[in-house]
Amino acid sequence: MKTKSIYLADDDADDCMLFEEALREVCDHTELTTAYDGVELINLMETTVPPSPDVIFLDLNMPKKNGFECLEHIRKTVKWKDIPIVIFSTSGQEDMIKSVYEKGANYFIRKPGSFPKLKQAIRQILDIDWTKHSWNPSLAT
């Protein structure tokens, strides 16, 4: 089985630790790379991509360069424009969700309030075939 490369950009160290733990429990074949702000994410991508990650989990509220700015930067960069981006945020405001899809996010998921729900969310995202996935607002949770 191919190892999945996952990037996570989130400034909350506790959220990153929980995400890593949940990811490990959900799938053995993953390699997680974490950035703690948007500038770090973009710098990381400039030095490591290609190869592209299989998916980027992107928090919106980060210092230096927020998730919206990262999303726009990634979508405007030719070699990165097709990388699946999952917005992973505590906010669930409809106008914000609509905005991230308009800016090119592939999927939006609210950060779950429990560890089992976090594992379920990660499993759901890792199971998506991004070559066939098209956005459906009813999937956003």
- Residue where the block lists tokens 């981006």: 85
> Could you tell me the residue range of the domain that residue 76 belongs to?
4-139
The CATH number that applies at residue 98 is 3.40.50.2300
Number of domains in the chain: 1
**SS3 state of residue 86:** strand
Which pTM does this prediction carry? 0.89
Beta-carbon contacts of 114 under 8 Å, excluding residues fewer than 6 positions away, are: none
Q: In the chain, which stretches have pLDDT less than 50?
A: 136-141
pLDDT at 58: 95
pLDDT tens for 36-62 read 999 999 999 999 888 899 999 999 988
